[in-house]
Amino acid sequence: MSEGKPQHEFITVEALFTENKKRLKLSLLTKKVGFDRKITEKEIHRPGLALAGFTDLFTFHRVQVCGNTENQYLKNLTKQQRVESLKRVFHFEIPCFIVTSEEEIPPEIVEQADAGHVSVFRTPFATTKLVQLLGEYLDEKFAPQVFLHGSMVDVYGIGVLIGGRSGIGKSEVALDLIARGHQMIADDIVTVSRRAGGALIAQVNDQLRYNMEIRGLGIIDIQSMFGIRGIRKQKRLEVQVELVDWDSTEKYERLGLKEMTCKILDEAITLVRLPIYPGKNISMIVEVIALNQRLKSFGYHAAIEFEKQMNRRMTHGKSEIKPLEPFFE
């Protein structure tokens, strides 16, 4: 269940426009044409070469960003050449054109776009800035996503997904963590998407918000109970803690030298299998797992350091090793 599907198969030009009008300060230059055309990729294309006549590998189905270079090129052509060049480009089924140049643009762009049913937008942002902002938006829209069963909590800045079989007590552990001052992202069903650079982002569900079901109690609302300090909209997922029923025949990790990982949307994250039994303080252990993860990200691996120290003592003899400096006098 972790192969993932994109949140959207496509977005329409209309959606792109309405959702980014403010953020990208877009204005529509053409008539309202081609608004139902579909954008199916997160990549963006600069149509420079296509305008110059090379259309063999023209990725016309992407959003086209027309910057200063394209604008200057078109301006340097004669009117006849310009019309020809633009006609050739707008003949393709392009979703939309975004002009970034603040300078005046040749009127033929709008004329030919109208004729070819391609909407042209203008933004005051520079090309690099626009590509970055638009890229973020499209990356989020087309990010592959999965729904995972579990509770997602931010513990000391580490995003922890608490998993395990139905009824094992995931929500109870999450609730305990929230009461200890950590933040809930989602309970029961966690939406996880993979963003650029391989970051796994877990998000709150619009449908469930910060409601949680506790067996024997019913539905409780974390947001009204704990306020802003108990919730978070999204968090990078870094550790999965799998609660398992204690089984004396099973072998559990004793040293922590072997790093277990699991794959979510093809990204490996740390996995800790935690056997539970009555009287064991699971939320405290989850806190320690998060702190240990932070130590590792700072370059300190307790199990490895301990192993090194032990090996030194055993190979050099105890006398050659200085006793530990006392921390407290």
76 binds another protein (CB under 8 A): no
Rounded-to-5 percentages of helix, strand, coil across the chain: 35, 25, 40
Q: Is the dihedral of CA 199, 200, 202, 206 positive or negative?
A: positive
Among 54, 147, 246, 300, binds another protein (CB under 8 A): 147
Q: CA 130, 131, 133 angle in degrees (round to 5)? A: 60
Of the residues 170, 194, 232, 235, only one is catalytic, namely 170
In the residue annotation, 266 being an active-site residue is answered as no
At its nearest, how many Å lie between another protein and the CB of residue 231?
16
At its nearest, how many Å lie between another protein and the CB of residue 285?
24
Alpha-carbon gap, residue 276 to 244, rounded angstroms: 6
Among 38, 87, 117, 149, binds another protein (CB under 8 A): 149
Among 28, 83, 115, 189, binds another protein (CB under 8 A): 189
Q: CA 37, 43, 45 angle in degrees (round to 5)? A: 80
Alpha-carbon gap, residue 159 to 238, rounded angstroms: 5
Amino acid at 205: N
Chain positions 192 to 251 lying near another protein, rule: CB under 8 A, are: 205, 207-208, 211-213, 219
In the residue annotation, 254 being an active-site residue is answered as yes
Alpha-carbon gap, residue 24 to 97, rounded angstroms: 14
Tokens found for residue 252: 């559990």
188 binds another protein (CB under 8 A): yes
Q: Which is nearer to another protein, 101 or 145 (CB)?
A: 145
In the residue annotation, 149 being an active-site residue is answered as yes
319 binds another protein (CB under 8 A): no
Catalytic residue set: 149, 170, 188, 254
